[in-house]
């Protein structure tokens, strides 16, 4: 019987993290690197991806590689995945983490009648269509080595509705595209899990709110509604990613793992 250390070992496996240059993406890349995987950072900014790749390589004795691609463009995605497989010879792990197109459109706020189609289209193109395009491009190489796994990143707001009172008196909003996109990822996870099995496992992490530069009033309200009494930080997501990416979860597919401090348990 294998040890837990054996089951966690990702040596000789190649991982791709979309949106890997971001804060949450960095936590995921570090998790994979610490367990021994070759980490390919796919981001719309190749320069930022290269900076992250160098940063990770300085901390962990693994190969890293930066790939620039816009995941809303089919040809970009296909070319990027082809380059990764051609360079590394295989693909074992895909983390669909990328979210949000550049914020060059106005924030619409909560009232539904004020939310515009351009914002909806731009955001869903990244959140949902991008996840589909990258998963489709990676499906065949992931199936080639019997250890293929996809981890999609959704949100608690893909599982439950938003709480408008959290945002009162702040510039923060939670628009319809976010709930629709993240809810779509949850269902896409189930679709991919059943259609790609048994060669590829597909699971999903639904993070709670990540603490950043939100107003203190928002932090206080959020904390009061969370059994754990605080917002998440990127490190809180590392364990879930390590579990789903490795053989620790070898008999798990089609599942959504809420890492939310108990938010969805109320």
* pLDDT tens, position by position, 143-169: 998 889 999 999 999 999 999 899 988
In a domain, 263, yes or no: no
Give a yes or no: residue 37 inside a domain: yes
Q: Residue 195: inside a domain, yes or no?
A: yes
DSSP secondary structure letter of residue 209? P
CB-based contacts of 12, cutoff 8 Å, min separation 6: 36
Q: Residue 264 domain-assigned?
A: no
Domain span including residue 41:
4-258
**Residue 171, in any domain of the structure:** yes
Over range 126-133, report the average pLDDT: 97
pLDDT at 85 (0 to 100)? 98
Into how many domains does the chain fold? Answer: 1
20-44: pLDDT as tens digits: 999 999 999 999 999 999 999 999 9
Tokens 């193109």 belong to 125
Find the CATH number of the domain harbouring 213.
Answer: 3.40.50.720
User: For residue 46, what are the β-bridge partners?
Assistant: none
Percent of the chain with pLDDT over 70: 96
**Taking Cα atoms as reference points, which of 134, 259, 146, 261 lies closest to residue 204?**
259
Whether 157 sits among the annotated catalytic residues: the reply is: no
**pLDDT, tens only, 194-240:** 999 999 999 999 999 999 999 999 999 999 999 999 999 999 999 99
Helices and strands in the chain: count of H runs, count of E runs: 9, 7
Which pLDDT belongs to residue 103? 53
In a domain, 249, yes or no: yes
Strands 14-18 and 38-43: parallel
Q: How far is CA 139 from CA 35, 65, 179, 201, 251, in A?
A: 23, 20, 26, 10, 19
> pLDDT value at position 114?
81
Residue 172 structure tokens: 């923060």
Q: How confident is the model at residue 4 (pLDDT cuts 50, 70, 90)?
A: very high
The answer to whether the CB of 67 falls within 8 A of the CB of 88 is: no
Which residues, including other chains, have CB under 8 Å from residue 193's CB and lie 6 or more apart?
A: 201, 202, 203, 253, 254, 255
Residue 197's SS3 state is coil
Q: What is the pTM of this model?
A: 0.96
pLDDT digits (tens, 9 = 90+) for 75-123: 999 999 999 999 999 999 999 999 875 555 555 566 788 888 888 999 9
Q: Does residue 265 fall inside a structural domain?
A: no
Selecting among 167, 178, 222, 243, the annotated active-site residue is 178
R_g over Cα of the chain: 18
Edge-to-edge strand ranges of the sheet holding 14-18: 64-68, 38-43, 14-18, 93-96, 148-153, 200-207, 256-259
């Amino acid at each position: 019987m294998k040890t837990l250390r054996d089951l966690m070992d990702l040596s000789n496996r190649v991982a791709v993290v979309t949106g890997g240059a971001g804060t949450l993406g960095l936590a995921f890349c570090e998790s994979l690197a610490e367990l021994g995987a070759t980490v390919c950072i796919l981001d719309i900014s190749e320069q930022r991806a290269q900076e992250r790749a160098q940063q990770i390589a300085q901390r962990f004795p693994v190969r890293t590689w930066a790939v620039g691609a816009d995941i809303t463009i089919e040809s970009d995605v296909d070319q990027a995945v082809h380059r990764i497989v051609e360079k590394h010879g295989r693909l074992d792990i895909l983390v669909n983490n990328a979210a949000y197109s550049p914020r060059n459109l106005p924030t619409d706020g909560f009232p539904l009648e004020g939310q515009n189609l351009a914002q909806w289209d731009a955001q869903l193109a990244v959140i949902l269509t991008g996840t589909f395009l990258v998963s489709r491009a990676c499906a065949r190489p992931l199936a080639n080595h019997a250890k293929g796994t996809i981890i999609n990143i959704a949100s608690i707001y893909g599982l439950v509705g938003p709480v408008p009172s959290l945002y009162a008196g702040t510039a923060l909003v939670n628009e319809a595209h976010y709930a629709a996109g993240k809810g779509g990822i949850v269902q896409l996870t189930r679709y991919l899990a059943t259609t790609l099995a048994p060669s590829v496992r597909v699971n999903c992490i639904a993070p709670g709110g990540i603490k950043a530069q939100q107003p203190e009033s928002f932090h206080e309200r959020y904390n009061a509604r969370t059994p754990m009494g605080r917002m998440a930080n990127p490190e809180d997501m590392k364990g879930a990613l390590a579990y789903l990416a490795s053989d620790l979860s070898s008999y798990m597919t089609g599942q959504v793992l809420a890492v939310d401090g108990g938010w969805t348990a109320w």
